Amino acid sequence: MDKVKVIFQDSDLLSLDKPAGLVVDKSNTQNEDTLEDILVNEYKIKLERGGIVHRLDKDTSGVILVAKTKEALENLQAQFKDRKTKKQYLALVHGLVETSGKVEGAIGRNPGDRQKFTVLEEEGKEAVTGYEPMGSLQFTGDSLQEIFSDFNKIQFRKLSTVNYNLFTLLKCFPKTGRTHQIRVHLKYINHPIVSDETYGGRKIVRLDHRWCPRQFLHAAKIGFYHPVSGAWMELESPLAEDLKEALERVKG
């Protein structure tokens, strides 16, 4: 198992830069080679779940917080529950998003597919996600030709018909912490995340995977109060290399 980069650590807490593909904690379907295993075996953290304070999806990269003591864990968990923390993600989405906004839609399991989540206003749990566009992007003609070099004229016309060549890089600010929240909310407003196999749509994701290997979602920054000193802290994770390369391709 590759070494996971440390962003910050002291006697009370640890922050790691989680790579995509690493499952955070054990489950019925994944009981080894998780971040929890790394924390227990390499960092000797004996707390429940290895001291993990919050989750990131398997294919989401970025900053994650871990407590080293029971007191720190309880303090940080309370901050998340009371919404004292501030989280910022980067997401590349399909379509043009021109203005900042907020999605308020309760989230629950999709009745038609229990592996997915969806907006369920009556039965779901409260969920709020703010977003802010950083800029629109599109492939140059040369880039498009290179990525879809095997396409014929009819297939290129189909790309144009579905406005495939238009994307927006967003900063996302989840106020709550529901499973798949950002992914579900962006799908809900018809701007699914690039290469999101669960919520992006099979045909579109097949196109996305030609230039972006996994869902373009990165936990870029987290702000919180230190569990012992009470000082406000902000920790950051630079955009992962695979997503950086994908962004360069769409920039042309």
* Among 239, 234, 227, CA closest to 8: 234
Q: Count CB neighbours of 8 within 10 A.
A: 13
Please classify residue 121 by burial: count the beta carbons closer than 10 Å to its beta carbon, then call 0-12 exposed, 13-18 middle and 19+ buried: exposed
Residues 80, 85: Cα–Cα separation, whole Å: 6
Question: Which amino acids are annotated catalytic?
Answer: 57
This prediction's pTM: 0.94
What local confidence, expressed as pLDDT, does residue 113 receive?
92
Judge whether 191 and 95 are in contact, CB under 8 Å. yes
Rounded to whole angstroms, what are the CA distances from 250 to 15, 63, 182, 246?
31, 25, 22, 6
- Give the confidence band of 123 by pLDDT, cuts at 50, 70, 90: confident
pLDDT in tens, 126-171: 999 999 999 999 998 888 899 999 999 999 998 988 889 999 999 9
Residues 196, 158: Cα–Cα separation, whole Å: 21
What local confidence, expressed as pLDDT, does residue 141 receive?
81
Residue 220 pLDDT more than 70? yes
- Give the confidence band of 252 by pLDDT, cuts at 50, 70, 90: low
User: What average pLDDT score do residues 4-17 get?
Assistant: 96
What local confidence, expressed as pLDDT, does residue 1 receive?
47
Q: Bridge partners of 193?
A: 93
Judge whether 66 and 50 are in contact, CB under 8 Å. yes
Residue 236 pLDDT more than 60? yes
What local confidence, expressed as pLDDT, does residue 2 receive?
58
Q: Work out the angle at residue 229's Cα, subtended by the Cα atoms of residues 224 and 234, and round it to the nearest 5 degrees.
A: 30
Residues 182, 194: Cα–Cα separation, whole Å: 13
Residues 129, 108: Cα–Cα separation, whole Å: 15
Return the structure tokens found at 247: 């962004």
Q: The domain at 5-251 falls in which architecture? A: 2-Layer Sandwich (3.30)
Q: Work out the angle at residue 8's Cα, subtended by the Cα atoms of residues 60 and 213, and round it to the nearest 5 degrees.
A: 20
